[in-house]
């Protein structure tokens, strides 16, 4: 990823790419912290849903507007794996949709009392 890419403006947001990457990195850091510290929290589910929704919206709007939605780092990985830009776009869109739907499911899902129970009573021995 060269200096030219980082200083260039994003076609959709009209912000320099370096600021977008810093913002995404900060959001991902908060989300990873939530996942590690509070994996069953509604805030964690909301964070996953929020990130997935942002990725889906960005990819959808970029696609409809005809803007490029590739990043050199992901593009290099796709090239190394022999992926076409279309396959790479499909995979990234699938991951974004998966995050969005997974976060929505976690927000909707309410574990039963049995699933919340951590300590099971031991089976009595017949000695």
Looking at residue 45, the DSSP 8-state letter turns out to be H
Cβ 103 vs Cβ 55: under 8 Å: no
Q: How confident is the model at residue 49 (pLDDT cuts 50, 70, 90)?
A: very high
Question: Is 10 a member of any domain?
Answer: yes
Chain segment 54-101, per-residue pLDDT in tens: 888 888 888 887 776 666 666 567 778 888 878 888 888 899 999 999
Structure tokens at 17: 């790419």
Which residue segment(s) compose the domain that 20 sits in?
Answer: 3-108
Question: Is 95 a member of any domain?
Answer: yes
Question: Is 78 a member of any domain?
Answer: yes
Question: Is 39 a member of any domain?
Answer: yes
Backbone angles phi, psi at 67, to 5 degrees: -85, 150
Question: Is 120 a member of any domain?
Answer: no
pLDDT at residue 106, rounded to an integer: 87
């Amino acid at each position: 990823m060269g200096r030219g890419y980082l200083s260039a403006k994003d076609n959709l947001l009209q912000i320099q790419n370096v600021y977008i990457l810093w913002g995404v990195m900060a959001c991902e850091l908060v989300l990873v912290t939530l996942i590690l510290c509070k994996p069953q929290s509604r805030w964690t589910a909301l964070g996953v849903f929020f990130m997935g929704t942002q990725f889906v919206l960005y990819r959808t709007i970029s696609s409809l507007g005809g803007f490029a939605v590739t990043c050199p780092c992901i593009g290099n990985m796709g090239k190394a794996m022999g992926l076409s830009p279309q396959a790479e776009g499909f995979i990234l869109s699938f991951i974004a949709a998966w995050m969005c739907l997974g976060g929505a499911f976690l927000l909707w899902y309410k574990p039963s009392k049995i699933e919340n129970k951590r300590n099971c009573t031991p089976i009595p021995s017949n000695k």
